[in-house]
Amino acid sequence: MHFSMNRRAFLGHYAGGLGSLALASLLGQEAGAGSSTELRDPLSPRPPHHPPRAHAVICLFQHGGPSQMDLFDPKPELTRRHGRPYSGEIETHFHTQTGNILGSPYRFHRHGQSGIALSELLPHTGRISDDITLVRSMMTESVDHEAALRMIHTGKVFAGRPAWGSWVLYGLGCERQDLPAYVVLGDPGGLPVDGVNNWSSGFLPAIYQGTPFRATGAAVANLAPPADVPAAARRNQLDFLGQLNACHRRRNANNPELEARIRQYELAARMQTSVPQALEISGETVATRRLYGLDNPRTAEYGRRCLLARRLVERGVRFVQIFLNGQPWDTHSQNAARLRDLCAMTDQPSAALVLDLKQRGLLDSTIVLWTGEFGRLPISQGPDGRDHNRHAFSLWLAGGGFKRGHAHGATDDFGYRSVEDVVRVGDLHATMLHALGLDHTQLTFPHEGRPDSLTDAGVTRAEVMNDLLA
């Protein structure tokens, strides 16, 4: 078959957006195009290594490093010694701005049958205290934002590695053929620190990277077909594109990169109808809207994204991450005031997500993780701020086989260093993969001449923390 215009020129002149090419590829497949090149779909569902406790993850990521001693880890000693010099050695990020001990101005209250103590800034999290595992003994490897973000998302402080959502997708595949398995619900205000690297597939094939969705307006850029193209002309374009794709596929048989790209176009075509349905919340009840705080301007935006996360996992999406713009929890100044504002925005929607999943019978099969990349120091930076701390931070998990109403680990009297039942980031990754039915030592991909993994099990030591699991 001979065409007077080559494929590159035609696509550059006529494609009219991703939607056209996507639908053309899908139609070509349905017409039998490329039937001689039947490669295994890299997104097809795959069996886990062992029976899973959970099938999906929702990560509520808090960029910047939330202050553990002001939110989750009460330290009376800080209050008693407020304003005095810190007598021990301490690692700081901005060493020229170190001050005296900074006590928390916020009171802590015990909640639920578990009696977990939480800051007064987190009354809604208090409502779910009997449903969460609160880990107070986390530690990481860097006090630098970018390196710590890479550590929590990819398992190493180095750039270029796959995000944990990509590993989950690579290990388990996709449950739906019309929705991406790894979705990122970004902040409308902009990208987080380190941008798209937070959901990159790194050295895994690009098909496993996260797919950003907008919470309002068009969910995915360039997905909808052009509105000004007449139906007959569009039909001719798509037919011609189908022939071009089939010809190109035959000339490049057994090309996995080409096959992966075509699969992505096919997914994009199917997404044109499924994505708007998944993100349409008009059918949600008034009670559900109020639960997430959609009636409150302070919580409405974050609440909408938490609600969309529930709708996505309800429809078979494997991994959903919610990000904030910039690094709002990076409280180098006005720590107390900024924490109050941030908790006012995120506390109710975060708790609502757990409550909503629970009442719909989805919590047992969904892991909800609330975390940042590191914690804060017990001394002041300037008059009222806190510097970065890699030696201790707190996070909580709910559902997916994790213990309910359980507080794990402890820090020293000042909240500076994790000292009891310490959990490293690699341990967290290994435990979450275990809950999803994946063995972190077996979930590997060839990289630089050896099998690599999320925990890099051949080089580093990571353990499944069975004390966190029910």
| Mean predicted confidence (pLDDT) in 343-368 | 98
What pLDDT was estimated at residue 18?
45
Does residue 338 sit in the same domain as residue 396? yes
Among residues 234, 254, 272, which one ends one of the domains? Answer: 272
Among residues 272, 294, 309, which one ends one of the domains? Answer: 272
Domain contains 39: no
Q: Which residues contact 307 (CB under 8 A, 6 or more apart)?
A: 281, 284, 288, 289, 292, 294, 349, 352, 353, 356
| Mean predicted confidence (pLDDT) in 215-230 | 72
| Mean predicted confidence (pLDDT) in 238-246 | 75
Does residue 141 sit in the same domain as residue 200? yes
**Residue 58 · residue 369 · CB < 8 Å:** yes
What's the rounded Cα separation, in Å, for the pair 244 and 240? 6
- Work out how many domains the chain is built from and give that number: 2
What pLDDT was estimated at residue 31?
37
Q: Give residue-wise pLDDT tens across range 378-396.
A: 999 999 999 999 999 999 9
The helix (run of H) or strand (run of E) holding residue 100 is strand 98-101
The CATH number linked to 174 is 3.40.720.10
The helix (run of H) or strand (run of E) holding residue 451 is strand 450-453
Domain contains 79: yes
Q: How confident is the model at residue 292 (pLDDT cuts 50, 70, 90)?
A: very high
Does residue 26 sit in the same domain as residue 160? no
Does residue 267 sit in the same domain as residue 284? no
What pLDDT was estimated at residue 400?
97
Does residue 453 sit in the same domain as residue 396? yes
Does residue 250 sit in the same domain as residue 304? no
**Average pLDDT of the residues of the chain:** 88
Give me 202's structure tokens: 């790194």
Among residues 272, 295, 311, which one ends one of the domains? Answer: 272
Q: How confident is the model at residue 61 (pLDDT cuts 50, 70, 90)?
A: very high
Does residue 256 sit in the same domain as residue 289? no
Does residue 381 sit in the same domain as residue 410? yes
Q: Give residue-wise pLDDT tens across range 252-287.
A: 877 766 766 666 666 666 666 677 777 889 999 999
| Mean predicted confidence (pLDDT) in 101-106 | 98
What pLDDT was estimated at residue 32?
36
**By residue range, what is the domain housing residue 353?**
49-219+279-468
3-state secondary structure string across 146-214: HHHHHHHHHCCCCCCCCCHHHHHHHHHCCCCCCCCCEEEECECCECECCHHHHHCCCCCCHHHCCEEEC
Q: Residue 99: is its pLDDT beyond 60?
A: yes
Domain contains 345: yes
Domain contains 41: no
Does residue 408 sit in the same domain as residue 343? yes
Q: How confident is the model at residue 360 (pLDDT cuts 50, 70, 90)?
A: very high
Q: What is the pTM of this model?
A: 0.87
What pLDDT was estimated at residue 93?
87
Does residue 333 sit in the same domain as residue 289? yes
